[in-house]
Structure 1
Amino acid sequence: ATFLVFGGDGTYNAFTNALFSLTKRQRDTCYAGFLPCGRANDLPAALGIPNSLPSAYDRILAGEIRKIDVLKVNKHFFLSGGGFGLPAEVVKTHHTLAASTFHQKVLLPLGNLSYLAVTLAKMMEARAWVDIKCGHETHPERLMLCAIMNQPFIGKRFLLCPPAKQSDGLLDVVSIPKQPTRAANFAILLKVLKGTHLRNREVKHVQAREITITTTKQATFMADGELLCSGTAFKFTCHRNAIRILC
């Protein structure tokens, strides 16, 4: 069966979770074509699918099949990437403001730039930070963000993990510590936008097929532009080449 999925990254996430309610044998007969109609459209961009709907449709009709990894956190599946701390706070704010006049008149016209605008605002708030223990680490670390990625970027312009690949069977974990000053926080954000932050000694990047992350307090994990789950313990796994995409 072939499915045409119109929407943004949240819609693709909903489709993927519905797909994984099927048996593996059933999933192996399914193909998906993603037509970008959202704000960021991170997944289509990473796959090289044009933002123009007619062009994207032509790519799907060409029928080239690509398999990519699917990541899982606890009971939820996701495709592009996400994180704790700042990324989750940005999405929470977007959801909170969704019905407001400010969203309609200011954020909506900005398109995917709205994620950058909200990020700059959230960096001024102390509650964006999260204390995380990753893998076999013995002590939690106070982080600006911890990202779990299946592709180089999210939010169109945040190059959280330039080396990440969609079909290598690995998830990429990037941890950026909270900086001592606001100026230093903004400086590291500029490096994220350029994709040069991994050169900083204090920024950690690890790859794994699975990893467990714990937080000292209740935390929320965001992926594919959606708030997927909350808690203090999160198990991440990578399902290699688990979805077939026409692109």
Structure 2
Amino acid sequence: MIIKGSSALVTGAGSGLGKATAQMLAERGAIVHLFDRNGGAAKAAADEIGGTALVGDVSSEQDAEAAVEAAATAGDGLRILVNCAGIGTAGRILGRDGPMRLPDFEKVIRVNLVGTFNMMRLAAAKMAAASERADKARGVIVNTASVAAFEGQLGQAAYSASKGGIVSMALPAARELARFGIRVNTIAPGIFLTPLLHSLPEEAQQSLAGAIPYPSRLGDPAEFADAVRFLIENQYMNGEVIRLDGAIRMQPR
């Protein structure tokens, strides 16, 4: 998929991996729409790159429909969707205060997994209706999972389940949407220097970095964005899940 001139929609684009992805797309000439629950963060990020800020919740049908519609009216239609929105609430199945509250589990699943599916289904409908390009492509979708999908730690049952669901969707989604000329890939990032980790003490950051074989540092969001670029531009990449983690394998705690 050619990025230049393509209308792109990035969720969770107000900060972290989503913001870095939006910046990368703008630098390569895309028409970028930044979708985030935090309207102030979305606008600030959009102003930096000349994009359009969209406010809403990825798990809301109404909010998602509005965001996808806005992106579909730009350029020759919505061509790129990158799902970065997500939450990481921790909680043990059975903690000191008893069983995990079911609403807490459901919230993580709804935002991370249902939200990703919600955006994907709506974007796919717009992409399928768009004109076919010279390479027979109509669109590309990149979802964000996590290494926790494979090696969830203590307290990550909900988070791992949500990200594991995203991993499992990659292949069937790619197979279903292939007939429309739409590709679907997933990135499973390791430990990246997002705003959440920025807030940790330097000692804690160094401890996390020390667990990464090579390079022994936290991931740079720009490296995640570069992986997104590769998945968008390489037309033969489809139905794949890429670990982007410096060869880390998460321990139980």
Report the TM-score, using the length of structure 1 for normalisation: 0.23
Report the TM-score, using the length of structure 2 for normalisation: 0.22
Q: Which has the higher strand share?
A: 1
Q: Which has the higher helix share?
A: 2
